[in-house]
Amino acid sequence: MEVNLTVSYDFSGKVALVTGASGGIGRATALAFARAGASVVVSDVNAAGGEETVALAAAAGGTAIFHPCDVADPAAVKALVARAVGHFGRLDFGHNNAGITNLTADEWDDEVWRRSLAINLDGVMHCMREEAAAMLDHGGGAIVNTASINGFTGNARQPAYVATKHGVIGLTRHGALKWARDNIRVNAVCPGVIETPMTDAVARNPDLRRAMEALTPMGRMGQPDEVAGAVLWLCSVQASFVTGHPLVIDGGATVS
C-alpha cells in the first residue's frame, strides 16, 4: 500500500538523530526528517543499510551522515551523540528506534532474554541519557522512543519483547517528568503490525500475512511512513504541550 503524507514541517537548522535507521520505521523517519530540512544522523549496526539511508536522504535533497552504533553499549551511544553534536553543532530531536524481536527464538533462554533487554530497554535508556544531556546545552528538544502495542498488551510468545516494550513506555513517562521544566519533551510511538524488514517473513507468506491483517480492524499492515509521520508530529511545535504520551499507531488493533 502506498502512503502519501501531505503534512509538511520546517525543521531547517535542526538536527535529528535516528537509531535503527538502516530500514523500516527508522529509515522512514530519517528520510522524513531530511525532507523537512533537518540535518540527520543515521545510526544502526547495519552499516550498509545505514549508508543506503544516507544516500536516499541526499537524493531527496537532505543532509545526513552515518555513524555505526550498538545501542546496548553505553560508550558507543555516548560517542554517537558526541558525533552528532561535533558534526552539526547541536541536537534537537532523538528517535530511539533501534530494537530487536525474536519471532523464532525462545525468549525464556537467558542469552536471548539478556540481549533483548540490552538493546530494547537498556539501549533506549542510554540514548535518552546522552540525548537529553546534549539538548540541555542547547535549550531543549524532543525525544521519541519506539515502543509497541505490546507495551500495553501481551502475547504468549515473546516475554522479553513484551517486558521491554512495557519498560520503554515507563522510561518515556519518567523522562517526560524528569525534563518537563527543561524544555525537553519525551514521548513514544507504539506501532502495531507494520510492514518492515522485521516482519518481512510474515509479509511474504500469504497465509501468515492474511492472519496478521485479520488482527487489525483496518484489515491491513501499517506502513513505516505512517509511524514516521507521528514521530515528526511529536517533535514539532504542533505537539508543544504533549509529553509522556505513548501514541498508538495500530489500525485499531488495541481497540477491541
Quote the cell numbers at residue 183: 524544555
Torsion from C-alpha of 199, 78, 81, 166, nearest 10 degrees: 40
What positions carry a catalytic annotation? 161
Other Cβ atoms less than 10 A from the Cβ of 204: the count is 9
SS (H, E, C) 47-115: HHHHHHHHHHHHHCCCEEEEEECCCCCHHHHHHHHHHHHHHHCCCCEEEECCCCCCCCCCCCCHHHHHH
Per-residue DSSP letters for 156-206? SS-HHHHHHHHHHHHHHHHHHHHTGGGTEEEEEEEE-SB-SGGGHHHHTSH
